Amino acid sequence: MSSGPLSGPDVIDERAVSTTLGYALTLGITTLLVSGLLIVGGTFIQDQREDATRTEYRVVGQRMAADIGAADRLLATASEGGSVRVERALPDQVVGESYRMGIDRVDDTDRYRIRLRNGKESVVETVQVRSEAAVYDSGELAGDRVVIEGNAIVDEKLLVSPENEPFRYPAADENTIVVEAEAPTSVRPGTDDGAGREWVEFHDAAASGNTAITTVPNSSSGTGEGNVEDTTDGPRLDYPVEVPQSGTYCVFVRLREPPTDGDNSDSVHVGVDGNTPVTYGSDGLSVGSTETAWRWLHEVDGANEYPSVTFGSSGSHTLNLYMREDGTQVDKVALVHPTDGTCSDNEEPTGTGPEVG
């Protein structure tokens, strides 16, 4: 038996196993390294993309904030009856991706939050702005062109959709439409009888959003100069609304009379789409007493205890609010679709009522 070094097939087999194992280990380590680099690199690229998106959202939001501020300053200096319109062209996409933008009020203050987001909401950016006038959003916008409109009479501004569709108050829910009285989209003067009647905005801590409206001058005295009776001679406010479903809606108005008017400044008329108001009858929709606290009303001193309006179709319609007695103070109007088809106290809002849209 030879005692020399190993040779022959045994050595060849060992080398073959060693070479194969080394190749497999090298390939495995390389795969792990490449996979790690791809994961790290992909995450880095995604982070960079999101950072760039946030930066662009911030720029777009700041442009909108600047325009709202400009409109607010112009409204403050506009003559009575004047109007303001500011247009802003915005990018359709940010970092190659579409986005949405909305605006909402912060805790009933004069501060608003402009919110931009991508479709997956993986990137969200907000910019805040102050505005003395009310700002309403027509729902989330999709870039392109945004319009801010304002009317100095009622001191309000609206955002309308890029498709140039006019603002409409969205339904609060599937059965309810609510509008803030101080924010119509158009103001129509009443019959010119020399009285100079008009709706004006005023501050009140107990009103929804701390703001309500009244008609001046306050000359109501039962019948006579400050009372237009069952007519549409008083100044009219229009509120475009989105009706969630066709049918009958009960009319409720959050209203009060001034403390010193003694039941002479407590009534309005309500209608839809320019048709005859549904509140005709004796004293119109009114408090009917000397109570001076804000309250939701449905009483009409006549045959119709619960006034209601009927929409033949869902979609776009217009709510009309008319002065009946000047001096009357109005905060909100709510239209409620009764679940059982009959208007009753069950539909009447409480407190400051449902939130708008």
Give residue-wise pLDDT tens across range 159-180: 766 555 667 788 999 999 999 8
pLDDT of residue 169: 84
Same domain for 183 and 150: no
Same domain for 201 and 301: yes
Same domain for 22 and 134: no
β strands within 9-96, DSSP E: 83-90, 93-94
The answer as to whether 324 is a domain residue is yes
pLDDT of residue 137: 66
In sign, the C-alpha dihedral spanning 139, 143, 144, 148 is positive
pLDDT of residue 117: 85
Same domain for 195 and 289: yes
Q: Which CATH number covers residue 251? A: 2.60.120.260
DSSP symbol at 96: T
Same domain for 299 and 201: yes
The answer as to whether 182 is a domain residue is yes
Structure tokens, 268: 């309005």
pLDDT of residue 221: 57
Q: How many domains does the chain have?
A: 3
Domain that holds residue 20: 10-41
**158 close to 136: Cβ distance less than 8 angstroms:** yes
The answer as to whether 46 is a domain residue is no
Same domain for 149 and 95: yes
Enter the pTM of the model: 0.62
Same domain for 142 and 205: no
Same domain for 192 and 85: no
Angle at 297 between CA 183 and CA 345, to 5 degrees: 120
Contacts for 289 with CB less than 8 Å, ≥ 6 apart: 263
Instruction: Count Cβ atoms within 10 A of the Cβ of residue 275 and give its class: 0-12 exposed, 13-18 middle, 19 or more buried.
Output: exposed
Same domain for 285 and 182: yes
The answer as to whether 283 is a domain residue is yes
Domain boundary among 132, 160, 188: 160
pLDDT of residue 320: 97
Tell which residue, 36, 165, 61, has the closest CA to residue 113. Answer: 61
Q: What are the pLDDT tens digits along the chain (357 aa)?
A: 444 444 444 544 555 555 666 666 677 677 666 666 555 555 657 777 888 888 888 888 888 888 888 888 777 776 665 677 787 778 878 888 888 888 877 777 788 888 888 877 778 888 888 888 778 765 677 766 777 777 666 666 777 665 556 677 889 999 999 998 988 878 888 876 667 788 888 888 899 878 899 988 887 655 556 788 899 999 999 998 999 999 999 999 999 988 777 677 888 999 999 999 999 987 888 876 666 789 999 888 645 578 999 999 999 999 999 999 888 999 999 999 998 888 988 899 999 998 886
Same domain for 219 and 254: yes
Same domain for 180 and 153: no
